[in-house]
Amino acid sequence: MEIDIESLRNDLKNNSLGAFYGGGFGGALIESFQIDKASDEEIIRLANKMNIEIEDYVIYDKGRGR
């Protein structure tokens, strides 16, 4: 299974920045900077922790369908 890590990373970062700007949560701003530097495995762990559906980021082969 191949995951579009960059899309997932981008969405995680946007969620963190939204929490910072919308709610003033300073920790969310720091988290957004950490997301930029996180490994692929760390991104997946963070997404799981945030209950984000990893399946939404799976890259399917055109020949196999979804």
Asked if residue 16 belongs to a domain, the reply is yes
* pTM above threshold 0.75: no
The amino acid that residue 42 corresponds to is E
Q: 65 in a domain, yes or no?
A: no
Q: What is the DSSP letter of 65?
A: -
CA distances from 23 to 20, 41, 52 (A): 6, 28, 20
Residue 22 has pLDDT above 60, yes or no: no
The tally of domains found in the chain comes to 1
| Residue 55 pLDDT level (bands cut at 50, 70, 90) | very high
Q: Would 44 be classed as within a structural domain?
A: yes
Whether residue 64 lies inside any domain: the answer is: no
Residue span of the structural domain in which 14 resides: 2-59
For residue 66, being part of any structural domain is answered with: no
Q: Is residue 19 part of a domain?
A: yes
Helix, strand, coil percent content, the chain, rounded in steps of 5:
70, 5, 25
In three-state secondary structure terms, 48 is: helix
